[in-house]
């Protein structure tokens, strides 16, 4: 462990919910819950106002609605979250070449490697400036922890929440850790915490007092050794720069189990197209196609097929996924489907059409006909336009707004922007020609 608090951990505060509050003035200071809105949906993020009501991430959405019936429930807007995350990560990479993203809203930074901090004072100044820069660029808040190791920096950022900065000075780690509950340490979840509690161990200090041999006896060799070292504030893990993406995948969970085999096949084809769009967006291709199926009884099956070379062709991926589906028994119903591509490369192999069994393009070429375009270029026209809660819209007369809710052929829209006052509410028919989907607006005026 180093001798100065130059490992920084950033955690954006209630990220998805904070983005929604920043983009919707009428929701600021109110309970906001982002996640899947169907019967089987789960909470992705809850605002701090919702957390006070007992709502937390990974909670079933049905339970969240019971705890917070008056909260705003919104679908995630991942494209917007990723764009804001890119802005934040760019600020971190300006501080050091060693940035280790953990998710869209969380990362470690080695400030010493970037020459931007070398002692407690310089580290504190960097942390304070980073928080100010994040607010200026995104309009959001982030909590910063600074310490001599990754474990302690993460604990410090948890103490800093929300919207704060905590520095753990070298030499104070053991005294700070000792009274903390065992769940403070990384890797101590509910099961391990209960196991330790039954052994009379409730705090980090009591883990250290128990001794390494006792922890190995209770938890096994690997976990016991690791937990003892953490209780003594020992953590020599380096900050590892962002790793290459190993796979690209998409999946959907269905509100009602799918029993119709034709519908299952259609969903797999649709997911394959979505996966390829994401693959192409990252400038990648891949050799191995993976199908994931979770059945009605929660059993999960995965099947994979490796091609002769990397591809980003939707027809190849669709047909490989269809072949994999042929080997899966979906009798009884399917609750989740996913398609992924791994074995990634930054090039494609041009002759991969030979790998697609009976591709539509080849068939049409033999008949001298124009091939039917892939599904990504042939969107289905739904019987009724769908307006998910929270999505951006624009009205020819009233301007930019967002969907508060829809149903029974009507859609309710609140017209406001990130830089406006809370706006007025209007209700329209779902097929109103003056209403159309829109792109999200920047959270900070003049920053794109």
Kind of pairing between the strands at 32-35 and 72-74: parallel
Length of the chain: 448
**Which residue is catalytic, options 106, 112, 319, 416?**
106
d(CA 73, CA 105): 20
Neighbouring CB atoms inside 10 A of 381's CB total 5
Cβ-in-10-Å burial (0-12, 13-18, 19+) of 161 comes to middle
Neighbouring CB atoms inside 10 A of 95's CB total 22
d(CA 70, CA 245): 40
Q: From residue 126, how far is each of 103, 115, 116, 403 by CA, in Å?
A: 22, 11, 7, 39
Report DSSP letters for 334-400, one per residue. EEEEEEEEEEEESS--GGGGGGSTT-HHHHHHHHT-PPPPPGGGS----SS----TT-EEEETTTEE
Q: Which residues contact 319 (CB under 8 A, 6 or more apart)?
A: 356, 357, 358, 359
305 and 324 in contact (C-beta within 8 Å)? yes
d(CA 305, CA 287): 8
Q: Is 267 a catalytic residue?
A: no
Closest CA to 335 of 247, 245, 264, 231: 264
**Helix ranges (DSSP H) in 24-149:** 48-51, 61-67, 78-93, 111-114, 120-138
Residues identified as active-site: 106
């Amino acid at each position: 462990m180093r001798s100065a608090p130059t490992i920084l951990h950033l955690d954006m505060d209630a990220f998805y919910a904070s983005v929604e509050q920043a983009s919707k003035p009428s929701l600021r200071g109110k309970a906001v819950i982002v996640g899947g809105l169907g019967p089987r949906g789960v909470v992705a993020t809850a605002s701090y106002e919702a957390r006070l009501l007992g709502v937390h991430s990974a909670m079933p959405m049905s339970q969240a609605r019971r705890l917070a019936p008056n909260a705003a429930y919104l679908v995630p807007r991942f494209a917007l979250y990723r764009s804001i995350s890119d802005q934040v990560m760019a600020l971190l990479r300006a501080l050091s070449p060693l940035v280790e993203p953990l998710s869209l809203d969380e990362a470690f930074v080695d400030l010493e490697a970037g020459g931007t901090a070398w002692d407690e004072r310089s580290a504190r100044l960097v942390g304070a400036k980073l928080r100010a820069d994040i607010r200026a660029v995104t309009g959001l808040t982030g909590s910063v922890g600074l310490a001599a190791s990754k474990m302690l920096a993460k604990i410090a950022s948890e103490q800093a929440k929300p919207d704060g900065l905590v520095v753990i000075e070298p030499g104070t780690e053991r005294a700070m850790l000792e009274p903390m509950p065992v769940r403070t340490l990384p890797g101590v979840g509910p099961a391990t915490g209960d196991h330790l509690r039954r052994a009379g161990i409730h705090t980090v200090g009591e883990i250290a007092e128990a001794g390494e041999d006792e922890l190995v006896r209770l938890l096994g060799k690997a976990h016991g050794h690791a937990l003892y070292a953490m209780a003594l504030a020992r953590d020599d893990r380096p900050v590892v720069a962002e790793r290459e993406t190993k796979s690209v995948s998409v999946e959907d969970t269905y509100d009602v189990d799918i029993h119709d085999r034709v519908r299952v096949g259609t969903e797999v084809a649709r997911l394959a197209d979505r996966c390829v769009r994401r693959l192409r967006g990252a400038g990648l291709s891949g050799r191995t196609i993976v199908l994931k199926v979770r059945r009605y009884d929660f059993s999960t099956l995965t099947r994979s097929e490796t091609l002769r070379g990397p591809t980003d062709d939707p027809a190849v991926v669709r047909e490989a996924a269809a072949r994999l589906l042929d080997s899966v028994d979906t009798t009884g119903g399917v609750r989740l489907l996913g398609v992924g591509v791994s074995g990634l490369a930054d090039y494609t192999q041009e002759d991969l059409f030979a790998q697609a069994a009976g591709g539509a393009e080849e068939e049409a070429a033999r008949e001298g006909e124009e091939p039917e375009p892939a599904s990504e270029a042939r969107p289905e026209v739904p019987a009724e336009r769908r307006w998910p809660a929270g999505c951006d819209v624009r009205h020819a007369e009233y301007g930019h707004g967002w969907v508060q809710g829809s149903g029974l052929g009507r859609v309710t829209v609140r017209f406001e922007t990130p830089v406006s006052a809370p706006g007025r509410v209007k209700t329209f028919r779902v097929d109103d020609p003056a209403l159309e989907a829109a792109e999200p607006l920047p959270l900070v005026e003049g920053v794109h």
